[in-house]
Chain A
Amino acid sequence: MPRWGMVIDVKRCIACWGCTIACKEEHFLPPGVFFNRVLIGESGKFPTSSKLIYPILCNHCSDAACVEACPTGATYVREDGIVAIDDEKCVGCRACMVSCPYQQRTYYDENVTKREYFPGQGKTEMEIIGEKLYPFKLGTVIKCNFCSERLEDGMKKGLTPGKDEDASPACVNICPVGARIFGDLDDPSSEINRLIMEKKGKQLRKEFGTEPAVYYID
């Protein structure tokens, strides 16, 4: 069984927000909900300051704080390393949201569903279709799932996640500079393992001890 992970090359990222938009499109996310974001900050002081661009998403931690905090077992780590949510079990206590050091979860309630992309003009056909095609359950928590539907469908067709677009996450496919590399962390010969080894991949906020499956290289 593979253990899916991602490498993000922050030197390549141009902060185009393509991943953010592709993700919203893939999951039909309502306004104000993001599974992918791009953080832009600075380090150092002028004249030696440098700009930091960090695309962030759920880190699919193997020792996830959200999984430990969930009182119902709704949040769990799948065999393939993806941290998933069973919306039938979620009680909406939001312990997972509070405990996530990366703040990658969203509570899906009436406040979210009432939002429109064109406020005051009603929902567009795209939004209405999205609610049917990709329904989220009210009163539960939602988050990035590494596009697990794409991965599973693709693998059923014999495709390889990370190599074939139809079996890879939307944010990986859209990236115009190839800053995102997706693959199997348990395969020593995979591209992402090579990059992590060669470029000394770093996990975000490793000190929390959550063992993220998303690595950053520069």
Chain B
Amino acid sequence: MNDKHQDLVQTMFPSDGSGIKPYEWMISPTRQRQWIDEKGIFLWLAFFFSEIGAGLYFMSLFYSYKPGLVLGWLITLVLGGVIHMLYLGNPKRAWRMIMKPNTSELSRGIWIIGIFAAMGFLQMVTPGGFNAVFNVIMGILCLLIISHGFATMNVIKALPAWNSTIVLPLSIISGIWVGHQLLQLMFALSGNAAVVSGMEVWAAAFFLIYFLCMLLYAWGTWHSSETAKASVKRMMAGELKQITHVGVGVLAILVPLILTLIMWGGSTNGFLIFLRLVSVCAGDLAIRYLIMKSAVYRPLI
């Protein structure tokens, strides 16, 4: 077998255990690849940036904090949008994605992002933009964008690990949690100690809800079907276990828990907030990666 042939076989059926043998395809639970492998990795990043940008925008609404709005708006549209385009095979035709909002979650997402871009811009340039009407509309749009990535995955019935009821609450709370952390760091950098300290109460609450949603997702997926259980097993014992242990166990749960306990009662510190933000972002990326990477299709026979 020459090198090229080996490359082909390696591409189709990797020997590192991440793949399956040719004769096992759709006979044993078969992993989805399109939305995480190769260029699919862009989608993972695009969903993440859209989510944290919208999360930051959402939290900034409660504090009427314009720099937060601007940064959130830019992260969602520039980082999220550009990375989405990098993923597409034919990005020049991307405008066509507005065509099917009645059935396609992707199409609905494009509409929501378009409205968010226009309304967000209007809110930022309008004097007195933090009025109740703008805030409610933008708040709803932010929540829709935060949940858009997981909503796109959630509607796919063929992948039981994604078709779980807790996927949407998990995505919403993770967006709010990361957005909150970003905003808290922005306030810390601007020297607004009183607000930073006050935000710590919400940090503890969001972290607790986030942690519960993660537990509920794992528990619900494990008990929903044999195929969904196979996804959880892949996270816990397969080739993804290191990401689960380090990414979720340490970065998403343990480090934020310790730092939140240290800052309990509002005794905040700029460096610790920065440290927690880095850990929370890495943890959130790990959770998204695991959910996307571990999803398997139900065997056909």
Contacts and interface: CB of A to CB of B under 8 A. Distances in A.
Nearest to B162: A98
B97 A98 contact: no
Given A31-B8, A103-B30, A119-B4, A68 B89 contact: no
B79 interface: no
Task: Identify whether the interface residues of A are mostly helix, strand, loop, or mixed.
Answer: loop
Interface string A61-96: 000010111111110000000000000011111110
Interface in B76-104: 87-91, 93-94, 96-100, 103-104
Contacts of A134: none
B158 interface: yes
Contact of A40 (B23, B88, B94): B23
Contact of B300 (A92, A99, A102, A119): A102
Contacts of A182: none
Contact of A71 (B26, B89, B104, B301): B104
B36 to A, nearest CB: 10
Contact size class for B? Answer: 35 or more
Interface string B43-86: 00000000000000000000000000000000000000000000
Interface stretch (A18-26, A109-117, A144-152, A161-169): A109-117
A107 B89 contact: yes
A72 B7 CA distance: 34
Contact of A119 (B8, B27, B98): B8
A139 B90 contact: yes
Given A94-B35, A103-B30, A72 B93 contact: yes
Contact size class for A? Answer: 35 or more
B180 interface: no
Contacts of B106: 69, 71, 93, 95
B88 A91 contact: yes
Interface string A174-214: 00000000000000000000000000000011001100000
Contact of A111 (B4, B11, B25, B88): B11
B158 A208 contact: yes
B16 interface: no
B159 interface: yes
A101 B162 CA distance: 13
B212 to A, nearest CB: 28
A90 B90 CA distance: 8
Contact of B88 (A92, A97, A119): A92
B104 A70 contact: yes
Given A72-B100, A73-B100, A95-B104, A39 B26 contact: yes
Contacts of B30: 103
Residue among A109, A140, A205 with the highest chain B CB neighbour number at 10 A:
A205
Given A93-B88, A107-B89, A98 B8 contact: no
A115 B5 CA distance: 9
B93 A89 contact: yes
Interface of B: 2-5, 7-8, 11-12, 23, 25-27, 30, 32, 34-35, 38, 40, 87-91, 93-94, 96-100, 103-107, 110, 152, 155-159, 297-301
24 contacts: A32-B11, A32-B12, A39-B27, A56-B26, A65-B158, A68-B104, A69-B103, A74-B96, A89-B96, A90-B90, A91-B94, A92-B88, A94-B34, A95-B152, A98-B156, A99-B156, A101-B158, A101-B298, A109-B89, A119-B7, A139-B90, A140-B89, A204-B300, A209-B157
Among all A-B residue pairs, the 3 with the closest Cβ atoms: A92-B89, A139-B89, A119-B4
